[in-house]
A and B are shown apart, each in its own frame.
Chain A
Amino acid sequence: MGVGPDQQVPENGSNGLASEGVPPLRRIVVDHEVAPIRVADGYGVAGDNGQVAEETFLLPEDQAPSHWFEERMRTESLSVAFGSKTAVNEVSLPVNSGQVLALIGPSGCGKTTLLRSLNKLVDLTPTAVRSGRILIDNQDIDLFDDTQLRRRVGMLFQQPNPFPMNIFDNIAYGLRERGSKRPRKKELEPLVVDALERAGLWDEVSDNLDHPALSLSGGQQQRLCIARSLAVLPEVLLLDEPCSALDPISTAIIEETVVGLKDEMAIVIVTHNLQQAERVADQVAFMYLGDLVEYGAAEQVFNAPMAERTKDYVRGDFG
């Protein structure tokens, strides 16, 4: 399954805003009409995702499983090194829509590096070298511009990091195109409202969209950052320990939001907090020293881990 020229045109939705005013919703159904997703031959990563996504989709609605999923991204023998230090070593992993994938493991095991290579953010580090392949909808991510790819693969950071502008502009920031044609505020408004609603922040900020974003509380700021990512309608959302700087209540709200979003997109979350991984994740990948040690359904990894190291880690023996 290589990448053919006849496959889905990446520009679909990625900059549709300029042409039509409203970007087409890049949800799964739309994409299926454009390019059916097939699972690569000889693709053998542990897990229960062997079934073909197409079939899942063709099921009548009343028979559809409650937790459908479909592969959006995949790493194939991905290795990332900083200088001579290998951070991620030959990791092959699928990222599915409809599921939350949690990357767990002790500090320095490469989970954040793996996450950051999915949207090529790791390429910003001058010493970083990447090998192997990363595919999004069966196309190599290196075929896309960084900017194009990052619109499809959004990211949330450890620290809430709203930009020093008002709430509206923060959300609209990703929607504003470069060049002469800047969409007017009125055109952007429904998209901004939609993003805030999906991030569960609309009720709290609807009256003060012109307030500076940095005046919000930490948890609200983080949800604002979620809304900011959602505004550009990503297909994959990467979360890099999104709750480590937040209080328990904000954490619970964020987790709820994340779980609510998984039906629309693929979600990858890096977390140090095993309870959090248990609460939100459908699939869990345990990494250790750059290697992918175990990958599987959350219940299996937590309750009946196969590898010895995983057992030790989820029991709390190290890490």
Chain B
Amino acid sequence: MSSVTTKRRKAAVRQSRRNAGPSKKIKAKGIWSIGDRIGVVAAWVAGLLLCTIAASITLFMGWKGIQYVTWDVISSSPEASLEQSKVGGFLDPIIGTLLLTLLGGLIATPVGVSVALWLTEYGRPSPLARFVEAGVEVIAGTPSIVLAIFGLLIYQQGVMSPFSFTADGGEVFGRSFFAAGAAMSLIALPFVVGGTREGLNSIPKHIREASYALGKDKASTIRRVLLPSARRGIATGSTLGIARIAGDTAIVVVLLGASLQIAPEGNIPGIDVLRGTGSTLTSYVFQNSPAGEGNAPEKAYAAAFVLLMIVIVLNLVVSRLTKKGQHVWG
């Protein structure tokens, strides 16, 4: 008895599917014009092409890189030599990259968070707010080589000598970790501002009002409620910015001096490194590639692989942070 009813039910379902199925298809065929169909195909091609390109970059760099990355090249300093076997490793560029991202991030995060806070929570007078907004956009759109040249202009001034390596005669070169870090912070700044603003804008208005309704002023509301709530946005923005710093070359070449080894300046420990010149993985790759003056493509591949890994890890951190999501109210 029961099997009969099941059969009947199944038959009914089949029948209803038959009824629904074809009519939908006919409808779809009727709506899609030639242009739309070409568009769909183009979208598919573009998407697949992008995936292919991304995959081939990663696979190619992975294949090349793993061949040449050894503990030796990671842990030894570069040496000047015309022979590939004698140019040493790229410990200094790795340290340089980490130092520069740290420095840039340390400058960009507080500044960016403050700018975003001011824009979203105060934003008055509004012409000034629009001006600041436009300023951030201009910085975001400026090629890093332009930022680098501008940084050079500033850091070559005599008053900047404490932040730069100098010649015996007192001439200020304007090249140092300080100079490069400051310029790099401009690259990260728009990302920090954007991430923080997004985080702040996602906080509903009634959360702010709840804090005010408890007799709190704006300062404690920002410090104790808004900033903690926007934490993820801030972290995402900073990490994105730091990934951009790690990948930039122009500023390193112009403002870090591009000496392969870290060359401290002065004799205050810690500060001397920041005043001195050095290199990063990007400038190292550039200089050792066939395009640069060095001729050590194997080392370039290895360094590029390490750089790619660093950036991929940073991006994973970003997607992890965004996936965890914002707090949801109500």
Contacts and interface: CB of A to CB of B under 8 A. Distances in A.
Contacts of A159: 204, 206, 329-330
Given A214-B327, A214-B329, A245-B330, A161 B217 contact: no
Interface in B193-245: 204, 206-207, 209-217, 219-220, 224-225, 228-229
A228 B220 CA distance: 16
A113 interface: no
B328 interface: yes
Contacts of A149: 215
Contact of B213 (A150, A158, A163): A150
A165 interface: yes
Given A121-B209, A124-B209, A178-B220, A160 B214 contact: no
> Max chain B CB contacts within 10 Å: which of A149, A164, A173?
A164
Interface in A146-164: 146-151, 154-155, 157-164
Given A161-B207, A165-B228, A218 B212 contact: no
B330 A174 contact: no
Interface residues of B, number: 22
B184 to A, nearest CB: 32
Contacts of B204: 159, 161
A160 B215 CA distance: 18
B330 A121 contact: no
A147 B215 CA distance: 4
B206 A163 contact: no
A157 B210 contact: yes
B211 A163 contact: yes
Contacts of B206: 157-159, 161
Given A159-B206, A164-B229, A218 B330 contact: yes
B330 A228 contact: no
Given A150-B212, A163-B225, A178 B217 contact: yes
A218 B329 CA distance: 9
A151 B215 contact: yes
Contact of B215 (A148, A162, A163, A225): A148
Interface residues of A, number: 30
A174 B224 CA distance: 11
Contacts of A218: 330
B330 A160 contact: yes
Interface in B294-330: 327-330
A150 B210 CA distance: 10
Contacts of A80: none
Contact of A174 (B216, B228, B229, B328): B216
Given A165-B228, A178-B220, A160 B329 contact: yes
A304 to B, nearest CB: 36
Contacts of A119: 213
A310 interface: no
B122 to A, nearest CB: 12
Contacts of B212: 121, 124, 146, 150
Interface string A215-256: 000100000010011001000000000000100000000000
Contacts of B330: 159-161, 218, 245
Contacts of A161: 204, 206-207, 210, 329-330
Contacts of B220: 178
Contacts of A163: 207, 210-211, 224-225, 228-229
Given A159-B329, A161-B330, A174 B215 contact: yes
B215 A150 contact: yes
A147 B212 CA distance: 7
Contacts of B329: 159-162, 214
Given A157-B206, A225-B210, A164 B216 contact: no
A177 to B, nearest CB: 9
B47 to A, nearest CB: 37
Contacts of B216: 147, 173-174
A218 B330 CA distance: 7
Nearest to B328: A214
A158 B209 CA distance: 12
B228 A155 contact: no
Contacts of B229: 163-164
A155 B224 CA distance: 19
B203 to A, nearest CB: 9
Interface string A70-113: 00000000000000000000000000000000000000000000
Interface string A116-154: 000101001000000000000000000000111111001
Contacts of B328: 214
Interface in B244-271: none
Interface of A: 119, 121, 124, 146-151, 154-155, 157-165, 173-174, 178, 214, 218, 225, 228-229, 232, 245
Leading 5 A-B pairs by shortest Cβ distance: A159-B330, A151-B215, A174-B214, A155-B213, A150-B215
7 contacts: A119-B213, A124-B209, A150-B215, A157-B209, A163-B224, A174-B215, A225-B210
